[in-house]
């Protein structure tokens, strides 16, 4: 049995999953092997907000302090991997790293820390298309295939992935350059944001999402699945939770009417009030308003294109997809 570690380093957060395989399935085969694992057994999940993409949209470079925050988190993750006896590791870097001019400094840091776990390991930049496909694989693993076709949206800090597929795999995918950090830095300055700022953000979001829905046909979608921190937080608020509980959130359903109310309540809410919410991670307080605006736009597009009436929220996402891909390897 192979123990694997998946690390997802995005614009806003860095996350770790250490897992073992549970059983195999004759479906979802790869070119490398006959069977691939049907499920993962989680040994450790962790998330830290490091804001690696701080200012990248404006400067084109990683800030020194952002790299240091990421280094500190990854050093702790590497220690956890060694303690748990990880045999394979894959660290993927997404939107912010694709855009940063000084990304070589970032990669040198990851090679130093990950190489102490598995010799030769280093972070790799993945394309938006691969990011979308990994997210889809992780997100739909616990869903009944008869509920498909699925549309999976992975709303990150710098990009949002839209993927449509079914039990046999991905049909189409698109990575849009819009996320909660990018939208906040470009459009939202006030506390709470002004009507003019909100309108500018909506225009920016609409311009970035339009090509995604032009490229990906969502007309046959039966189930809309949302992953990543913005949507899981919105689901927790909709459920009235006082403290975040991933077991309560995983595969929970939020009507679009309820989602609309939660999104606009957050947009209008002052920062201090958001910070007091028990389900709110401190690292999301500043960007959740923009995330709510992106979610609202996605909801309206999904309703118009596919006629969906609710959002299914999954705790499983790109991390699970990365881990499953590691287990596919010979």
Residue 238, pLDDT > 80, answer: yes
The DSSP H or E segment spanning 82 is helix 64-84
Cα–Cα distance measured from residue 156 to residue 140, given in angstroms and rounded to the nearest whole number: 18
SS3 state of residue 283: helix
CATH code assigned to 4-128: 3.30.420.40
Determine the Cα angle at 187 with ends 293 and 313, to 5°.
25
Q: Which fold has domain 143-313?
A: Nucleotidyltransferase; domain 5 (3.30.420)
Give the C-alpha distances (Å, rounded to integers) separating 101 from 12, 41, 61, 157: 18, 37, 5, 18
Mean pLDDT of 190-210: 97
Sheet-wide strand order for 223-227: 169-176, 160-166, 150-155, 223-227, 310-313, 252-255
- Phi and psi at residue 53, to the nearest 5°: -85, 10
- Phi and psi at residue 220, to the nearest 5°: -95, 5
Burial class (CB in 10 A: 0-12, 13-18, 19+), 236: buried
pTM over 0.85: no
pLDDT band at 12 (very low <50, low <70, confident <90, very high): confident
- Determine what percent of the chain is predicted with pLDDT higher than 70: 95
SS3 state of residue 195: helix
- What does the domain layout of the chain look like in residue ranges? 4-128, 143-313
Mean pLDDT of 131-148: 89
Alpha carbon dihedral 160, 162, 166, 168, in 10-degree steps, equals: -80
Least confident range of 90-99, 215-224, 314-323:
90-99
Q: What is the pLDDT of residues 239-295, one digit of tens each?
A: 999 999 999 999 999 999 999 999 999 999 999 999 999 999 998 999 999 999 999
Q: Would you say the CATH fold of 143-313 matches that of 4-128? A: yes
- Which DSSP string do the residues of 214-271 spell out, in sequence order? HHS--TT--EEEEESHHHHHHHHHHTT-SS--HHHHTTEEEEHHHHHHHHHHHHHS-H
pLDDT attached to residue 25: 41
pLDDT attached to residue 293: 98
Q: In the block, which residue shows the tokens 């979610």?
A: 295
pLDDT band at 190 (very low <50, low <70, confident <90, very high): very high
pLDDT band at 5 (very low <50, low <70, confident <90, very high): very high
pLDDT attached to residue 211: 97
pLDDT band at 95 (very low <50, low <70, confident <90, very high): low
- Determine what percent of the chain is predicted with pLDDT higher than 90: 77
């Amino acid at each position: 049995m192979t123990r694997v570690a998946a690390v997802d380093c995005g614009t806003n957060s860095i996350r770790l999953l250490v897992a073992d395989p549970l059983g195999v399935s004759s479906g979802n085969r790869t070119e490398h092997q006959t069977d691939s694992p049907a499920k993962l057994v989680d040994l450790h999940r962790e998330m830290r907000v490091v804001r690696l993409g701080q200012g990248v949209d404006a400067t084109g470079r990683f800030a020194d302090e952002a790299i240091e925050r990421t280094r500190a988190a990854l050093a702790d993750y590497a220690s956890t991997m060694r303690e748990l006896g990880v045999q394979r590791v894959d660290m993927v870097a997404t939107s912010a790293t694709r855009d940063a001019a000084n990304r070589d400094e970032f990669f040198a840091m990851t090679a130093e820390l990950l190489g102490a776990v598995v010799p030769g390991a280093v972070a790799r930049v993945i394309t938006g298309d691969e990011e979308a496909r990994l997210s889809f694989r992780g997100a739909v693993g616990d869903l009944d295939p008869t509920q498909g076709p699925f549309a999976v949206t992975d709303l990150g800090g710098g990009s949002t992935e839209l993927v449509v597929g079914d039990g046999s795999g991905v049909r189409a995918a698109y990575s849009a350059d819009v996320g909660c950090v990018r939208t906040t830095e470009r459009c939202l300055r006030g506390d709470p944001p002004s009507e003019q700022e909100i309108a500018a953000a909506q225009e920016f979001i609409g311009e970035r999402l339009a090509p995604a829905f032009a490229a990906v046909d969502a007309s046959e979608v039966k189930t809309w699945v949302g992953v990543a921190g913005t949507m899981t937080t919105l689901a927790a608020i909709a459920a009235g939770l006082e403290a975040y509980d991933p077991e309560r959130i995983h595969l929970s359903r939020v009507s679009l009417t309820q989602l609309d109310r939660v999104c606009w309540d957050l947009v209008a809410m002052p920062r201090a009030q958001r910070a007091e919410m028990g389900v709110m991670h401190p690292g999301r307080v500043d960007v959740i308003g923009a995330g709510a605006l992106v979610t609202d736009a996605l909801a309206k597009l999904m309703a118009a294109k596919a006629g969906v009436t609710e959002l299914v929220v999954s705790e499983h996402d790109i991390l699970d997809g990365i881990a499953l891909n590691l287990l596919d390897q010979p």
